[in-house]
Structure 1
Amino acid sequence: MLNGATCNTAGVTVPPLLPRSPHGGPGAAPFSGLDFSVNSNPCGPNRPLLQAVRDADHAHYPDPTYHATRARLACWHGVTPEEVALSVGASDLLHRAARAFLPAGTGLLSLHAPFGELGRAAALQRAEVQVVDALPALLPGHTRLVYVGHPHNPTGHSLAPEELLALAQKCEQVGAILILDEAYAPFLPELESPRHPNLLRLLSPGKVHGLVGARPAYAIAAPPIIRQLENLAPAWHVPAGTEALLAALPEAQDFLAQTLPLVRQNALELAAAMRSFGDVQHHGTPYLILNVGNAAAAAQRLLNHGVKVRDCASYGLPAWIRVSTRLEQENAALLQACRQVL
């Protein structure tokens, strides 16, 4: 019988059975309150992108190479189609990257806690995960993947382009790939990403466009990296609606100019107000973290008042909760709940 341990079936070792990584958002239990646990644009969805999903040809298979959509995204980013890979969510790309580049016994080095799906993917590969709060002068020789959130979730920390380029060069020296997770970069348009053959950029536009349920994502990297990622994708791995959203993305940016100033202002005001309850870390992202002493207990008390927040224990921060801004009146309801229970 398969259990939580690594199993040997007919002489073949299979990956261990691991629990799912915890995430914000809906769970199995019904919830009808205010959800501050998901980092998504509260002004969404972006209507033109939503319409693109609805208008997609759901009756037929898409082109399994997704060439036209990859070409549109490549032109937008100033790269070639061979440097773009599509995906349903960045989680799939992280799992594929681990399978492609992180053999058993090698190492993943993460600046601050990695996104849970990457940590889980590394564990499935039986690789070593090392979490650091500052980058070492030299990478361990067995390092094959380095993970940086740009900005990091949930702390909001980010690196300057020259720091990222220096890190990519260190990766090249030991034969590693630098994964730059840009899920929340569009909320901070001042952030920049360098170009380097050992750099793998992951983009998840569903968050900034308020369409996380459509799960759009894509990678930008040198062709050899993209070929390895594509090698692990089955045919038609991106459904028609998600592909249509990605194809429409370059022409649907007005929504960001219209909404991001409000999102940033609401987040700044929320962070200032939350400081009356404890230490707050906020670096311009739509989310912030608050030190409440016991995150699990505080999250449960807030849930009892119809408010969901993210317990950050899975990020190695058991005293902190993460809160992502919503609209002004909803933020006021959160503050009222915090006054009652914190």
Structure 2
Amino acid sequence: MPDLPPLVPRAPHGGPSSDAFTGLDFSVNVNPAGPNPVLLEVVRRADHAHYPDPTYRDVRRSLARWHGVSPDQIALGVGASDLLHRLARSCLCAGDVLLSLLAPFGELARAARLQRAEIRVTDRLGGGCPPRTRLLYVGQPHNPTGRHLSQEALEDAAATCARAGAWLVLDLAYAPFVDVPVLRHPAVIALHSPGKAHGLVGARPAYAVASAEVAARLDNLAPAWHLPAGTAALLAHLPEAQPFLNGTLEQVRRGALALADALRALGQVEHHGTPYLTLEVGDGARVAGALLARGIRVRNCASYGLPRCIRVSTQGAAADARLVSALQEVIHG
């Protein structure tokens, strides 16, 4: 038998499973005001009867104009997971190192394991990268803690990666929800997954802004016509659909702040302006199971190395009040 990569279990995620669920879901970090009606109509009007342009030229041009880069610096994907798996295949080999500031997104960790790379997690950057570091992953902001780097820290991280011959991967999935610095640098690969902010995660839109070299490598690892017509149309029209965010994200911020304030009476809360927050409950798995029995789904944070915590995301005032009441019952009996 050839020396094949090992089978690696799927990474745990929030959201639906194969089991039927009709309760309240606080385990997903999606704009509760979505879907964006402009983009939803774009997806519906897309030409699903014919193959799309295999180069997705117009999509790349639209996003490139928006970001002030050239089209050859844009790589398209079906969800950030798709791009992260291709990135791992492009950059990581057995014995290489994926360095992550705090716990990495589960799909990147899984992709690294499939490449037989080593995963190292640190709670602070400084002192350079370990030998054979090829990727440094930073959630900007991080999931589930919401922490993020300052502009100065980002610049230092990019310079460190450049010296080490590594790439700095900025996961900007939740950047639209908070005011965080974003860096453009030759060593930076910026991953955007706008479905979360626009309430359209089912369409799986994602793209990377990077050097032309990296974008070409990511594109080379994708099959032909890798983007469905609806997802391509969504990304092409994304720049003109931003008014939805202007009208909804402030409401999401207020809801998350109110939820954080209400939950502080039940345990230690970590919240940095994102729609989600963590709550220390002692035994995250037990509390998550007890809530699920009450028709409420939350994210057990054990896979992030935080087994004492759960992560919840605001779902609107009425739903949030039900979560707080259920947590009071579970925690205090």
Aligned: 1:125 with 2:115? yes
SS at match of 1:14: coil
SS at match of 1:259: helix
1:157 paired residue among 143, 147, 154? 147
Question: How do residues 1-342 of structure 1 correspond to structure 2 at under 5 angstroms?
Answer: 9=1, 12-188=2-178, 190-342=179-331
Q: Scaled by the length of structure 2, what TM-score is found?
A: 0.98
* In structure 1, C-alpha distance between the alignment counterparts of 2:180 and 2:56, rounded to whole Å: 28
Alpha carbons 2:103, 2:305 under 8 Å: kept: yes
* In structure 2, C-alpha distance between the alignment counterparts of 1:194 and 1:262, rounded to whole Å: 27
Alpha carbons 2:149, 2:181 under 8 Å: kept: no
Following superposition, the deviation at residue 196 of structure 1 comes to: 1.0
* In structure 2, C-alpha distance between the alignment counterparts of 1:226 and 1:141, rounded to whole Å: 25
SS at match of 1:162: helix
Q: Structure 2 counterpart of 1:76, which letter?
A: W
Q: Structure 2 counterpart of 1:162, which letter?
A: E
Following superposition, the deviation at residue 191 of structure 1 comes to: 1.5
Alpha carbons 1:165, 1:195 under 8 Å: kept: no
Q: Deviations over 1:38-97 (max 9, x none)?
A: 000000000010011100000001011101010000000111101101100000100001
The runs of at least 4 consecutive aligned structure 1 residues that moved more than 2 Å come to none
Following superposition, the deviation at residue 166 of structure 1 comes to: 1.2
* In structure 2, C-alpha distance between the alignment counterparts of 1:61 and 1:19, rounded to whole Å: 33
SS at match of 2:3: strand
Q: Structure 2 counterpart of 1:193, which letter?
A: V
**% identical aligned pairs:** 60
* In structure 2, C-alpha distance between the alignment counterparts of 1:101 and 1:58, rounded to whole Å: 34
Following superposition, the deviation at residue 211 of structure 1 comes to: 0.5
SS at match of 1:57: coil
Which ranges of structure 2 fall in alignment gaps of 5 or more residues?
none
Q: Deviations over 1:127-155 (max 9, x none)?
A: 00000011131111210000000000000
* In structure 2, C-alpha distance between the alignment counterparts of 1:338 and 1:294, rounded to whole Å: 13
Q: CA RMSD of the aligned region, Å?
A: 0.7
* In structure 2, C-alpha distance between the alignment counterparts of 1:15 and 1:239, rounded to whole Å: 29
* In structure 1, C-alpha distance between the alignment counterparts of 2:103 and 2:206, rounded to whole Å: 21
Q: Structure 1 counterpart of 2:121, which letter?
A: V
* In structure 2, C-alpha distance between the alignment counterparts of 1:14 and 1:94, rounded to whole Å: 21
Alpha carbons 2:30, 2:199 under 8 Å: kept: yes
Q: Structure 1 counterpart of 2:329, which letter?
A: Q
Which ranges of structure 1 fall in alignment gaps of 5 or more residues?
1-8
Alpha carbons 2:144, 2:278 under 8 Å: kept: yes
Aligned length: 331
SS at match of 1:117: helix
Q: Structure 2 counterpart of 1:207, which letter?
A: K
Q: Deviations over 1:262-281 (max 9, x none)?
A: 00000000000011110000
Alpha carbons 2:85, 2:107 under 8 Å: kept: yes
